[in-house]
């Protein structure tokens, strides 16, 4: 990442110093201390360029709305997570560093803003019927959404306890009957799939790394539902419903298909075949991480997939000049450990439950619905 001095940034933006500092405080412009003088700040050249481009396009309301709806300007305030300078941050903690030691329960405590000694008793395990993990998870959330009390007006501590009950229940639904009572959430999933302790630790990292990712589609859906005062389970159900889409939570399924073909036909031939069909190589690159998705890099480094899988990923990366993202890492975990093909969805849904519930509780504190306007283009 390139950095500019204060005077250079001001000159390019054509603003006063106070405006420059306001951009930083609003999260629109990244800044860091200069290495040779910590009292002097440097400013992200990429952020400066984006601000200049935005000013050139104008500030009409329709322009602002169009830029905000897809990978654009922030649309609401949140203290839960952000992506800055190529890093995913959980309430001030680097998510990759956090995942080295944290369980999903630890991550819930962090993202739900609970004290370090917060340790609610896990509820009794519940038998949840369904033909697949996805069906069981959606059924569990549907039943709770229909039965639970609205979140509106309830105390934050009470909501946090309900959120923990929902998190454990969702894990029960996804894991099935094999897991033991009282086991950590990642261990329940590992028991379901018959994994060793070492492999269970990869699941722990995966759950911590997928717990939240700012305003992704499923999280925004959860916040919209929560903004109406709906039960926490309804907000999580809205998030899970968005997750089943092929452009979001099911993106790893396409990565599995690619890796399967690469293992069968060879990486180079598979890459050529995909590109010759005019298709995109799956799970490569990420708009928020121009230098590479740190979640995928950390997970693949810990996983150390067998050479054939690593070569397939490298071939796709070399073909596009971009790095694998978290969906490719989930696909690699699935094939390396010979897990069921729905394992990426199970891991993503179990981990992201923490984020959906965190955002639902944060949105509930706002106390008003999310209700944007549409730009009408009909007759």
Q: Is 63 a catalytic residue?
A: no
Q: Count of CB atoms within 10 A of residue 68's CB?
A: 15
**What is the DSSP code string of 84-119?**
ETTEEEETTEEHHHHHTT--HHHHHHHHTT--TT--
Q: Is 248 a catalytic residue?
A: no
Q: Give me the catalytic one of 47, 106, 293, 327.
A: 327
Q: What is the longest distance spanned by two Cα atoms in the chain?
A: 64
d(CA 213, CA 135) in angstroms, rounded, equals 24
Asked if 5 contacts 17 with a C-beta cutoff of 8 angstroms, the reply is no
Q: What does the buried/exposed string (b/e) look like for 85-96 if buried means 16 or more CB atoms within 10 Å of the residue's CB? A: eeebbbbebebb
- Of the CA atoms within 13 Å of residue 367, those in its CB half-sphere come to 5
Q: 42 pairs with which residues across the strands?
A: 32
Query: H helices then E strands: how many in the chain?
Result: 18, 6
Residue 185, burial from CB neighbour count under 10 angstroms (0-12, 13-18, 19+): buried
Q: Give me the catalytic one of 186, 213, 286, 359.
A: 286
| Token pair for 176 | 């099935």
Residue whose token pair is 């490719």: 328
Asked if 137 contacts 174 with a C-beta cutoff of 8 angstroms, the reply is yes
Residues acting as catalytic residues? 286, 327
């Amino acid at each position: 990442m390139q950095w500019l001095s204060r005077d250079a940034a001001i000159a390019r933006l054509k603003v006063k110093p106070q405006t420059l500092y306001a951009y930083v405080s609003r999260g629109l412009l990244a800044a860091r201390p200069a290495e040779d003088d910590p009292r002097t700040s440097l400013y992200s050249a990429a952020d400066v360029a984006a601000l200049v481009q935005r000013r050139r396009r104008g500030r009409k309301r329709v322009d602002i709305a169009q830029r905000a709806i897809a990978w654009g300007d922030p649309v609401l305030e949140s203290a839960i997570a952000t992506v800055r300078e190529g890093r995913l941050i959980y309430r001030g903690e680097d998510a990759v560093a956090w995942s080295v030691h944290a369980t999903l329960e630890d991550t819930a405590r962090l993202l739900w803003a609970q004290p370090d000694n917060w340790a609610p008793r896990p509820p009794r395990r519940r038998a949840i019927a369904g033909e697949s993990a996805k069906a069981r998870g959606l059924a569990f959330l549907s039943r709770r959404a229909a039965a639970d009390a609205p979140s509106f007006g309830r105390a934050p501590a009470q909501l946090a306890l309900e959120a923990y009950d929902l998190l454990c229940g969702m894990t029960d639904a996804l894991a099935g009957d094999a897991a033991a009572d009282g086991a950590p959430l990642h261990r329940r999933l590992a028991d379901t799939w018959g994994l060793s302790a070492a492999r269970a630790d990869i699941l722990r990292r995966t759950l911590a790394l997928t717990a939240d990712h700012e305003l992704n589609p499923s999280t925004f859906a959860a916040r919209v539902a929560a903004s109406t005062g709906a039960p926490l389970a309804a907000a999580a159900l809205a998030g899970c419903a968005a997750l089943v889409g092929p452009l979001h939570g099911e993106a790893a399924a396409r990565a599995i298909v690619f890796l399967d073909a690469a293992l069968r036909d060879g990486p180079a031939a598979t890459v050529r075949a995909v590109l010759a069909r005019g298709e995109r190589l799956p799970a490569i690159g990420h708009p928020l991480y121009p230098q590479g998705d740190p979640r995928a890099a950390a997970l693949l480094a810990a996983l150390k997939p067998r050479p054939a899988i690593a070569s397939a990923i490298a071939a796709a990366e070399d073909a596009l000049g971009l790095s694998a993202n978290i969906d490719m890492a989930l696909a690699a975990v699935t094939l390396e450990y010979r897990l069921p093909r729905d394992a990426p969805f199970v891991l993503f849904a179990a981990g992201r439950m923490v984020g959906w519930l965190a955002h639902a509780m944060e949105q509930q504190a706002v106390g008003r619905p999310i209700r944007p306007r549409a730009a009408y283009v009909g007759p």
